[in-house]
């Protein structure tokens, strides 16, 4: 490449793109990166970080209520200052944007503010400037999708949820995935009257069935109205909000309608088709094990390749790409055993296989399951319960699935994920001394296997 070009040009300044640019720059590689919006991508600006901050905010309402059982008395009922929460969140996100920019600067990465397009396999155009690059890495992430319903211009997506004005007293959440469930829980906790509608038979498709049913019950106990096996036909503006017509004709009125029905790879306008980059049926960039597309100089990672849409996955993929292009080439991305959390109320933490997935892979399983009222709630007055579940391969005794619904689930499951990655068996779990009194100790004290999930559910049905 000529002296005025780049060894690597990154399109997209989200978590994966910034990590790749920074790591490559630290190796002395000539790197450029283009970003039209705020640095940090979805996670920092309209995803993980602000959502977790609002989740913390929502937990305070129940904490104030539960404190009464521990002897605390308040003279005035607590009140949410929604503008203050929004303002403080914005200050923190702006700080993080600056951190990302400083990281790039310290790695000698040239940052270009603007939308990039590909003119050919080695030419990127940003704000009219043509830039040559030996390799181009696309890390443009995903974007929320809304189905083609009547009144779709009246609904909002997760991108708009953090700055609503005014605060929605009545909120409809459409969808049953983790984004929909998280926002339903969060805004219920903040004080909205929340209804969640999902066309499927149960929320959180793809998660363990025990987790799905348990969370559904806990969310409803907390005040979220969940309506399954139904869908929205259309949305119309009325004098005091939005009127939603369901399939079947029923109408409901709300202040805001959030669609959390999925995200699609953000590839529009990049010029990928023009230069021959293969896309799959959902618009994701097709890449091989080394993240190389059908055009040899074009690479991609993160949500735009639509493998596992998690920030830590994009970061790990970025490390693998940089090592393969500018390092020893030995680093590989492993997609098995990736832990994840869902910041509903209560939280979900999970790693490994669901019971249904494990039954496809292993001829014989042992299932350990418990649900209980946590120690805290013996005084708080709350009826919230915690669920813990282990899925064990009978032949090897390996723990192949671990699932938790309860407070701080992500914090607890992260440590167990390390043990499972190392191949921990149920015998090792059993020989580990628990920390008492904690919820986490239940994972090392479960001794009695239970029946399969379908068997347990049939046993609970009224006769």
Catalytic residue numbers, as ranges: 436
- The tokens for 49 are 């970080």
Query: 438-442: long-range contacts at Cβ-Cβ below 8 A with a sequence spacing of 24 or more?
Result: 439/374, 439/386, 439/388, 439/406, 439/407, 439/412, 440/412, 442/370, 442/372, 442/388
Distance CA 447, CA 427 (A): 10
* Cα–Cα dist 313/335, whole Å: 8
299 class by beta-carbon count within 10 Å (0-12 exposed, 13-18 middle, 19+ buried): buried
Which residues neighbour 73 within 8 Å (Cβ) at sequence distance 6 or greater? none
Token pair recorded at residue 274:
């023009």
Residues 388, 370 contacting (CB under 8 angstroms): yes
Contact 32, 123 (CB under 8 A): no
Structure tokens belonging to residue 260: 């959390």
Residue 410, preceding peptide bond in cis (omega within 30° of 0): no
Residue for token pair 């990302």: 100
**3-state SS string for 77-109:** CCCCCHHHHHHHHHHHHHHHHHHHHHHHHHCCC
102's CB contacts (< 8 A; 6+ apart) are none
User: How far is residue 451's CA from residue 175's CA, in Å, rounded to a whole number?
Assistant: 31
In the block, tokens 């999930």 appear at 453
Q: Select from 358, 375, 145 the least CA-distant residue to 268.
A: 145
Residue pair 107/31 in contact (Cβ under 8 Å)? The answer is yes
Q: Give the Cα separation of 437 and 447 in Å (integer).
A: 18
Q: Return the structure tokens found at 349.
A: 């933490």
With left for phi above 0 and alpha for psi between -120 and 50, is residue 278 left, alpha or beta?
beta
């Amino acid at each position: 490449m000529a002296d005025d070009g780049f060894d690597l040009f990154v399109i997209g300044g989200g978590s994966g793109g910034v990590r790749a640019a920074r790591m490559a720059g630290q190796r002395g590689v000539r790197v450029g990166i283009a970003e039209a919006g705020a640095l940090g991508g979805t996670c920092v600006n309209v995803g993980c970080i602000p959502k977790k901050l609002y989740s913390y905010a929502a937990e305070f309402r129940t904490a104030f209520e539960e404190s009464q059982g521990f002897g605390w008395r308040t003279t005035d009922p607590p009140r949410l200052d929604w503008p203050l929460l929004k303002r403080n969140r914005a200050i923190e996100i702006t700080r993080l944007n600056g951190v990302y920019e400083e990281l790039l600067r310290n790695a000698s990465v040239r940052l270009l503010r603007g939308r990039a397009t590909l003119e050919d396999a080695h030419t990127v155009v940003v704000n009219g400037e043509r830039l040559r690059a030996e390799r181009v890495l696309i890390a443009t992430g995903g974007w929320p999708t809304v189905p083609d319903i009547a009144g779709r211009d009246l609904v909002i997506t997760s991108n708009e949820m953090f700055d609503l004005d005014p605060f929605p007293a009545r909120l409809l959440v459409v969808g049953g995935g983790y984004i929909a469930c998280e926002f339903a829980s969060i805004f219920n906790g903040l004080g909205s009257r929340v209804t969640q509608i999902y066309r499927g038979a149960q929320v959180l498709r793809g998660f363990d069935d025990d987790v799905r049913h348990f969370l559904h019950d806990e969310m409803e106990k907390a005040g979220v109205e969940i309506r399954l096996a139904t869908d929205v036909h259309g949305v119309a503006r009325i004098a005091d909000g939005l009127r939603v017509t369901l399939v079947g004709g029923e109408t409901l009125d709300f202040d805001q309608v959030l669609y959390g029905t999925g995200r699609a790879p953000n590839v529009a306008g990049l010029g990928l088709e023009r230069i021959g980059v293969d896309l799959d049926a959902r618009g994701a960039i097709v890449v091989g094990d080394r993240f190389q597309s059908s055009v040899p100089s074009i690479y991609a990672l993160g949500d735009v390749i639509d493998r596992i849409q998690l920030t830590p996955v994009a970061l790990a993929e970025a490390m693998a790409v940089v090592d393969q292009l500018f390092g020893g080439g030995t680093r590989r991305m492993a997609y098995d055993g990736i832990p994840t959390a869902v910041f509903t109320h209560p939280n979900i933490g999970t790693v490994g296989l669901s019971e249904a997935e494990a039954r496809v892979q292993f001829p014989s399983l042992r299932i350990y399951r418990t649900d209980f009222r946590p120690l805290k709630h013996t005084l708080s007055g709350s009826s919230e319960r915690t669920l813990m579940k282990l899925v064990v391969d009978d032949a090897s005794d390996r723990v192949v699935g671990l699932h938790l619904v309860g407070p701080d689930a992500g914090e607890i499951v992260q440590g167990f994920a390390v043990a499972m990655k190392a191949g921990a068996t149920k015998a090792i779990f059993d020989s580990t001394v628990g920390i008492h009194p904690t919820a986490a100790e239940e994972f090392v004290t479960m001794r009695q296997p239970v029946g399969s999930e379908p068997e347990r559910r049939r046993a609970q049905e009224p006769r």
